[in-house]
Chains A and B, each alone.
Chain A
Amino acid sequence: MWLKDKIVEFFKRKEKVTVGGGNKAMEKQIAMGKMTARDRIKTILDPDSFHEYDLFVEHAGKDFGMDKKALPGDGVITGIGNIMGHPVCIFAQDFTVAGGSLGLMHARKITKIMDHAVKLGVPLIGINDSGGARIQEGVNSLAGYGEIFYRNTLASGVIPQISVILGPCAGGAVYSPALTDFVFVVDKISKMFITGPEVIKTVLGEEISMEDLGGAKVQTEISGNAHFYAKSEYECFEQIKKLMTFIPWNNTKRADPLPPKPPKSNFEITSVIPPEPSKPYDIRDVVKSVCDDSDFFEIQEFFAPNVVIGFARLNGDTVGIIGNQPLVLAGVLDVDSSDKAARFIRFCDAFSIPIITFVDIPGYLPGVDQEHNGVIRHGAKILYSYSEATVPKITIILRKAYGGGYIAMCSRHLGADFVFAWPTAEIAVMGPEGAANIIFKSEIAASENPEETRKQKVQEYTEKFANPYVAAANGHIDAVINPEETRGYLIHAVQISREKKEIRPNRKHGIPPF
């Protein structure tokens, strides 16, 4: 009977802690349109694959009567489960327990599962739903945050780290997601900010709602802190699972290949590009016309849409895509798009994902606000990331590749392994209009009919330089190709450079222009 009693007691104890903040709090959570922490974990993971750890951990608060309070699981659920049959480490903050507030033991549960993730070489998924630091635990809760940030940083580039914001995430709490690779937000549920509307109002007199300050839309469109936006938690979890199909489990592995599939027939490369160079098109249609199943998984779709980034597959293998978007701001590079592309390049490089760059760029965005916001420093990030990356780098120049934009978009000079150009490519120091106005300035001014002369000079410059053949003659590009051959060339380039090795001098680390 001794054993039976012990087991009965175990079940009793387990039941007590698995209810989280109790039925009432759970109902409140659901009434807010949110899933409970345990349901979230179960929905993301393969059925019945979740193994929970540290269920019986108790909080370490001693002051303010906390020693008399029980907080089941200390407000966070941690464990290991599978996604598509592969293990992942996961934690979910439980808002029903003391508002998901982070105390020392709560943090220790998280750091323990993070250490597991690094040792096992599996991705980490963190679900954030927390009111912030547990004030009663004082500096110990700050210590907890610090220990999480430290591990986020050490795990960066070793295992993929994913943050899911499914509730408030305020103050210091925002910096763990900010240090991870991909941040997912859900409309009306996610809220991220350093200082909330209350403080902003008392200190600064500025009135703003939580949603307008740091809601899901703001974080995906304006600040760029979040990478994926969903309308519901279910949609969000589907996005996470889809992302996981494209990325490797750690930095020593490659993503599982899928059976190769041709692009869908409704994406035809020759019908995508308009006949005039100043007319726009959607670069994503070009990507879809070359990648497997026309399946392009876009990242940060709404932030800095003048540059498009995301994952796709070529003949079954994952590739990272970066492309100028002529449809928005003519596809220029600016502060935001440089940040966006640079970080993505570093992710691809860290996780052995070949980078394909589609170029159609008139240059960097001119403007006082750009200069004053540091477009020099931010623009340098993209040069740094491309040059630093040793994964296969394949560039395809579609139309314009002018000036600094040409260099920045993974040109041969930044170490591209293969550079292809369509016959429509214009690789030049600047657009014909601008170039003619400078080179023939005095000639145009001295002419009897300056406008006529200007037109003539623009025409001359266009004929001579607005093509891929000057660059080809200098060996800056490897091949001028028929647009219809693009997919074939890209697949060949990716396959041939699979085992590419590039040796760099030893150093502790570089100093990128953060």
Chain B
Amino acid sequence: MEFHPFSSNMDQNNNLTAFPVDDTFYETKLTTKFKKRKIYQPPNPDKLNAFIPGIVTKIHVKEGQTVKRGDSLLILEAMKMKNNVVSARDGRIKSISVKESKMVRKGELLLEYE
């Protein structure tokens, strides 16, 4: 069946897929937008990810350091604002994945707790 001949929203040799809605499987095509949808990941309290893209201008902690809830971990500069990223819990820093003056994307791993 010919469908959207020059559209990349439909995959070119788009085959029919069994697609479940309420326990019934329907033969249908999927859009690329649907296939590229973000698969949900439950939040992991051991990992700190960048909540906004920007530049890590200052790191206040070292690997192996014990931190308390509310301690400043690093400064993430984004949209001309210096965001003071504080620890959400007590713990020990296992590893730091960024360096000072490094640009990070949204969701990029900044550091990990033990």
Task: Answer yes or no: are A and B bound together in one complex.
Answer: yes
A280: chain B residues at CB < 8 Å are 16, 26-29
Q: Do the beta carbons of B53 and A305 come within 8 Å of each other? A: no
CB distance from A243 to the nearest CB of B (A): 20
B1: chain A residues at CB < 8 Å are 282, 327
A247-286 to B contact mask, C-beta < 8 Å, 1/0: 0000000000000000000000000000000111010000
Report the count of interface residues on B (CB-CB < 8 A): 34
Q: Do the beta carbons of B3 and A330 come within 8 Å of each other? A: no
**Contact for B23 among A301, A306, A367, A437, CB less than 8 A:** A437
Q: Do the beta carbons of B105 and A204 come within 8 Å of each other? A: yes
CB distance from A102 to the nearest CB of B (A): 26
* CB-CB under 8 A for A326 and B28, given A282-B1, A367-B37, A431-B23: yes
Bound-state CA distance A160–B28 (Å) is: 36
Q: Do the beta carbons of B79 and A430 come within 8 Å of each other? A: no
**Contact for A330 among B19, B78, B104, CB less than 8 A:** B19
* CB-CB under 8 A for A305 and B10, given A279-B27, A329-B31: yes
Of B24, B29, B37, B54, most buried by chain A (CB within 10 Å of CB) is B24
Report if B103 contacts A (CB, 8 A). Answer: yes
Q: In this complex, what residue of A is CB-closest to B21?
A: A362
Bound-state CA distance A280–B4 (Å) is: 16
Bound-state CA distance A327–B15 (Å) is: 11
Report if A221 contacts B (CB, 8 A). Answer: yes
Q: Do the beta carbons of B23 and A278 come within 8 Å of each other? A: no
Q: Do the beta carbons of B26 and A326 come within 8 Å of each other? A: yes
CB distance from A228 to the nearest CB of B (A): 13
A433: chain B residues at CB < 8 Å are 22-24
A304-333 to B contact mask, C-beta < 8 Å, 1/0: 111000000000000000000011111110
Of B22, B29, B37, most buried by chain A (CB within 10 Å of CB) is B22
CB distance from A123 to the nearest CB of B (A): 28
Report if B30 contacts A (CB, 8 A). Answer: yes
Report the count of interface residues on A (CB-CB < 8 A): 41
B30: chain A residues at CB < 8 Å are 328-329
**Which residues, 35 to 59 on B, are CB-close (under 8 Å) to A?**
37-40, 53-54
CB distance from A338 to the nearest CB of B (A): 14
**Which residues, 182 to 223 on A, are CB-close (under 8 Å) to B?**
203-206, 217, 221-222
Report if B13 contacts A (CB, 8 A). Answer: no
Bound-state CA distance A360–B10 (Å) is: 20
Q: In this complex, what residue of A is CB-closest to B34?
A: A329
Report if A75 contacts B (CB, 8 A). Answer: no
B37: chain A residues at CB < 8 Å are 367, 369
| 19 residue pairs bridging A and B, Cβ less than 8 Å apart | A204-B106, A205-B105, A221-B9, A222-B33, A278-B26, A279-B27, A280-B26, A302-B7, A304-B31, A326-B28, A327-B29, A329-B31, A329-B34, A330-B26, A362-B26, A368-B40, A369-B37, A431-B24, A434-B23
| Sample of 17 more A-B contacts, CB < 8 Å, known A206-B105, A222-B9, A329-B34 | A203-B78, A204-B106, A205-B105, A278-B24, A282-B1, A301-B4, A302-B7, A326-B28, A327-B1, A328-B31, A329-B28, A362-B26, A363-B22, A431-B24, A432-B24, A433-B24, A437-B23
